[in-house]
Amino acid sequence: YLWIIVMFLSAVWTLIMTAPIHCRGSIIMYCVSSVFQTGMVGYPEALTDPSYKSQILTLTYPLIGNYGVPKDEDGEFGLSKWFESSKIHAAALIVGELSENPSHWSSAKSLDQWFREQGIPGLEGVDTRSLTKKIREKGTMLGKLVVEGTSANDIPFDNPDTRNLVKEVSMKEPKVFNPEGTVRITAIDCGIKYNQIRCFCQRGARVTVVPWDYPLDSNGEAWHYFDGLFISNGPGNPEYCKETVENIRNVACVENPKPVFGICLGHQLLSLVIGAKTYKMKYGNRGHNQPCIHKGTNRCFITSQNHGFAVDPNTLPEAWDVLFTNANDKTSEGIVHNHKPLFSVQFHPEHMAGPTDLVGLFDVFLDTVKDAKEGKTGKTAFVRPRKVLVLGSGGLSIGQAGEFDYSGSQAIKALKGENIQTVLINPNIATVQTSKGLADKVYFLPITPEYVTQVIKNERPDGVLLTFGGQTALNCGVELTKQGVLEKYKVRVLGTPVASIEMTEDRKIFVEKMEEINEHVAPSEAAMSVEQAVAAAERLSYPVLVRSAFALGGLGSGFANNREEMITLVTQAFAHTSQVLVDKSLKGWKEIEYEVVRDAYDNCVTVCNMENIDPLGIHTGESIVVAPSQTLNDYEYNMLRNTAIKVIRHLGIVGECNIQYALNPESEQYYIIEVNARLSRSSALASKATGYPLAYVAAKLGLGIPLPMLKNSVTNSTTANFEPSLDYCVVKVPRWDLSKFLRVSTKIGSSMKSVGEVMAIGRSFEEAFQKALRMVDENCVGFDHTIKPVSEEVCNDVTHLPSHSHTPTDKRIFVLAAALHAGYTVERLYELTKIDHWFLHKMKNITDHEKLLEAYNRDESAMPPEVLRKAKQLGFSDKQIAQALAVRKLRRDWKILPAVKQIDTVAAEWPAHTNYLYLTYHGLESDVVFEQPHVMVIGSGVYRIGSSVEFDWCAVGCIMELRKMGYKTIMVNYNPETVSTDYDMCDRLYFDEISFEVVMDIYEMENPEGIILSMGGQLPNNIAMSLHRQQCRILGTSPEFIDSAENRFKFSRMLDTIGISQPRWKELSDIESAVGFCETVGYPCLVRPSYVLSGAAMNVAYSDSDLEKYLTNAVAVSKEHPVVISKFIQEAKEIDVDAVACDGVVIAIAVSEHVENAGVHSGDATLVTPPQDINQKTMERIKMIVYAIGQELQVTGPFNLQLIAKDDQLKVIECNVRVSRSFPFVSKTLGVDLVALATRVILGEEVEAVGLMKGIGIVGVKVPQFSFSRLAGADVVLGVEMTSTGEVACFGENRYEAYLKAMLSTGFKIPKKNILLTIGTYKVMAYFTVMAVDWPFEEESDCPSKDKQRNIMDYLEENHFDLVVNLSMRNSGGRRLSSFVTKGYRTRRMAIDYSVPLITDIKCTKLFVQVSCDKLTLTTQQI
């Protein structure tokens, strides 16, 4: 390690590191110009670009060297295949982190080795964002690299702008390339890049490259040897190239000049030739995402640039015009003569590195046929719609979650910004988009063609958005188009046309469209029957991937290794779709995604590219994803980018879409997997990862607004027609809740099972990766090897290879941690998993450092500061390192503190006007100042079963109310699918962990007026006491009272003290006394851990063995808090109460009743409000109990109570001092916003008491949305632990109307013919039809074949039943895992697998019959 001082003259600013900086390559002292470059790939090309001569180059993207350096080998025309010149021209390189272990098929050496060979110094460990901001603010500066021990004053500054750098880099003698070429081009080498020569040669030109001062006199011999003159790029000040200017004047300033084309410095030289002026820019443009608008067509192109001087367009002589203008800083990017073949551009159309959008300028030059006025698009003017219908996505389900609340809300905001009236259809009452004040009208109705037609008929919109509500909205829109409804009512589809949507959804058409542009999809066939699918698989050869067309999240998909597996898979897939796709398996290939935006004028950009850490074979929703890609080189990155743009243009998509690729890890071969012509989960992730609001922009483009006219909402000064530069790394990790389901398969693959996802941001992969693992599960400390211990079966747990029968599970990442800890090599793990070496090496870095930390476990004070700092930079939490508070004190003493960095889309190149923030230990200083007081609101974290969009609605409602009250707000959350993580919702958004450590770090920096914990569900409540002990200002109910409610023992004791009835209870002390208690009160008994959400580890025990098993689970979940056992009361009615209180005085109460009996978790229950079956006397007693508990807990803010009623008695079962899942439901149904009320109370405002909320004359029914179809093997049994993934609610004049609408909103279909009713054992079974059916579930061998009757399995497979009602004789609440598979389980499972509507609760069945009796005429027969 060497200490380096980097000095910058302009501000006399010295960068002194608080930790050793690694110095790579040769140790040379330099004092030259320092610049930054914002490209995220292409470092070998940039470093060998002669334009970087004598410059210290800072790369803003922090992770450099990932794909190594290729071998310097000749390609076509004798030019280097990979580099832009024969050597590195940059004087030195400054980066955040250099990859120790590069990974790429083309890599021959590391960047470090290359630098040593070339004698170039490099620095890593620098806060490159701070350095970039300094250069941006002060301008390009002179810099010194000084080795420690040398006096900086001994080395004078040397300004390269005072030297003729062109002379230093230009060749000395002419050289001919492609001598057989037909068009003769003379190229003046001012610092020419090899790819400029290659671009000419590939187009059939003979290129003679001549030195910078080569004479070109029209009378001389050289004049006759070229047909056109090209002037290359180069370094330095154009004023020093006087000889070159004179030589060009001899060619250009004549009556009939030969065509002249200049690039970069060549552009500046041509401008000087014609008498225009050039000037030095403040810090120049260097990167791969500079947007340039072509004058005349107004088309915007993304370009690669590297220059520090520019041309003043105001000094152009007559007959010359501007050709391109930079859309950001408005500088001239090109000039053209109005009638002579002379033009030049400031950017690099030859790319290398960067995009190839304008490489066609070489064709223009060689053809000499194009001028600035050609190529107008001639688009017809858009008629702006007056009223737009937005289709939502309905209830949250696996594969279609909260991301559509985010995208729909953005779309509505965009439309409102254009003064367009909005009408929304969405039955998901928990969403932000269905709140008052967003859409002009909201219909809580099923998103089905019938209901949408009714709304269109009533509202008469003239436009509709189909791409903001997931597959539900898309399928509905396609059906409405086919039925002619949109045409009949003159409703125009905004954005992507339905024809384009169908091209992407129908595999056969999609393949044909790709073949038209010579692009390839994975070998695949579409099939309309089982027979066709099996035949296709045999033609493609096994293994194959089966997928359903028109489905979301890989529904009905899987891998088949043989004919038997194929038939099983396809039969189930046809239950969900009319067409299946059979793809050749590409397991083990890399999976890459690009998010693409295109407007109606053909302006097109790729906003974000993402790389799946898991190779192909695991659905992208199940995979850990990193953005931007880490292991693609510049060629691959731009090859896939160009393909994405070509495909999207060909399909005619307008707005936003997503394209997925399979990339061969050993070559440049790729296949297109699919295109999603709508906003998707990846779109929400890309929006949050880059800060580019994709949904908002897509909605504006749907109105016909050109992309260049839209502003980048982060900078407020640059255009939205750009491609974001990231100077950080983003990691997405999915969240599974498979433990909540009985018999569910934990294997993950091509079909999605995850219920949510998190996004972590860091300046190293390790930092972001470990953050993300903790975000997914607050009980996980990071990349932990103890969660899933390594065993002989480790191979089976992690392998993706088709030759193995096992597939990865939801715990596979922890299997990798255990394997690395146990000494598995990276190479061995790569063979097993096909996860790229680069990622595996990064994971190994964590494991290696963990072993180092273990040496200091007993005495962390003996730990050297650099070991602790490195641990924090690798993403270790305090808790992971040692006892948290001890490490926290140590960190503060050693000044090892996080820095706050902004996400600004432009890698600090432009000032950011937003506060979208994250914490990192790879920083010297924070991007923001902490001056004004804010109120801090903690969000709900990852979507999981039990904590979903309803808590996001509460958090957003709280922030909005605070802003109305005049408070500045801070939001802390890390869920990319939410509206609360939209940076324009609050004054400061911290996209980071919700843990004691991180919240405390933010609190200490921001010093807010207080923290509101009660709006984010269970997660914030869990850290209440820890924050309270550190004297944090907690607003609302005191954490001590929160603990009194959350701690089961304290709460039960409190109820006894104040005389409120509850089921008999006992705190767990040991198993014996627990068994004794249960025998005394009688089974069943309920096991209840403390501080848990959605009934985690809560179970009903029916026997001693049940009890023992459940107590073990509960203690594991609730390690630091007590577990209580209580009597489980059967056949009781459950009541939910949501309330708001101020200093213990209750000011608002909302009561909801469950349709199901007590024992079904409130999140899985059907709720009705206002209650229809509770009498006045009971209501008064409920109020009395609520008042008493509110007073005892001194509640200030929201709280929720659950009670049970039986035999005219009310008993309290639990209290949550926070918002609950039903807050949005009761607020919207009863017409009082409880969150706004609670927020005002928490901040100490006086509010008028509302009392018992009686509603506004309508009845609301909330119905759960389940995702059992995605959870192979899971039993459809409801109990005290929650299993639903979402909810919908609808309104009606009575509960029957509301219930029917709500059921239809979950995908339920009203039966038209046969219903199978099974009650208890299969001796009691009714079948509503005229035909008798014997039980045999499957064929029985002892039955004579001629007498065989069809069995139930046959009927279920053939979709013979429209509805299955399966009622267990056992009371609800218990989910006992039988040792054998019952026929009841198999019937329920088959109903799900074959998409047959299923009801499993007696009370719901009764309600359904009451709803249906007017609609269905049934005959019943006992069998």
Q: Which residues are catalytic?
A: 264, 348, 350
- State both tokens at 1102: 């029916």
**Helix, strand, coil share of the chain (percent; to 5):** 30, 25, 45
Contacts (Cβ under 8 Å, ≥6 apart) of 1087: 1097, 1098, 1099, 1100, 1101, 1107, 1110, 1111, 1113, 1114, 1123, 1125
Q: From CA 807, how far away is CA 750, in angstroms rounded?
A: 11
H helices of 1047-1167, where?
A: 1048-1058, 1071-1081, 1104-1117
Token match 């950080």: residue? 728
- Max intra-chain CA distance, the chain: 115
Contact present, 806 and 797 (Cβ < 8 Å):
yes
Burial of 1297 (0-12, 13-18, 19+ CB in 10 A): middle
Q: Strand 1133-1142 vs strand 1197-1206: parallel, antiparallel, or unpaired? A: antiparallel
CB of 673 within 8 A of CB of 663?
no
Can you say how many angstroms the Cα of residue 802 is from the centroid of all Cα atoms in its chain? Answer: 28
Q: Which residues contact 241 (CB under 8 A, 6 or more apart)?
A: 164, 166, 190, 212, 234, 265, 269
Calculate the CA dihedral of residues 1385, 1388, 1389, 1394 and round it to 10 degrees. Answer: 160
DSSP letters spanning 997-1023: HHHHHHHHHH--SEEE-TTSTHHHHHT
- Enumerate residues 6+ apart whose C-beta is below 8 A from 401: 681, 755, 756, 943, 948, 949, 977, 1285, 1286
* CB-CB neighbours of 482 under 10 Å: 12
Structure tokens at 619: 């659905």
Q: How many helices (H) and strands (E) does the chain have?
A: 42, 61
Q: Determine the Cα–Cα distance for residues 321 and 1166; give it in Å rounded to an integer.
A: 69
For 30-56, give one letter per residue: b (16+ CB within 10 A) or e: bbbbbbbbbbbbbbbbbbbbbbbbbbb
| Pairing outcome for strands 387-391 and 421-425 | parallel
The Cα-based distances of 1409 to 592, 595, 699, 1404, 1406 in angstroms read 50, 47, 43, 9, 5
Cβ neighbors of 660 (< 8 A, separation 6 or more) are 591, 592, 593, 620, 672, 673, 674, 675
Residue 1074 near residue 1068, CB atoms below 8 Å? yes
The whole-angstrom separation of Cα 212 and Cα 447 is: 68
Rounded CA gap, 209 and 507, in Å?
49
Name the region of 42 (left: φ>0; alpha: ψ -120 to 50; beta: rest): left
Question: Tokens at residue 396, please?
Answer: 């949250």
Q: Single out the residue of 348, 359, 291, 295 nearest to residue 322, CA to CA.
A: 295
Per DSSP, what are the bridge partners of residue 32? 143
**Cα(662)–Cα(584) distance, integer angstroms:** 12
Q: Which of 1140, 1136, 1232, 1234 is nearest to 1195 (CA)?
A: 1140
Q: What tokens appear for 3 in the block? A: 């200490």
Task: Confirm if 324 and 375 have CB atoms less than 8 A apart.
Answer: no
Place of tokens 């470990």: 770
Please tell me whether residue 341 adopts helix, strand or coil conformation.
coil
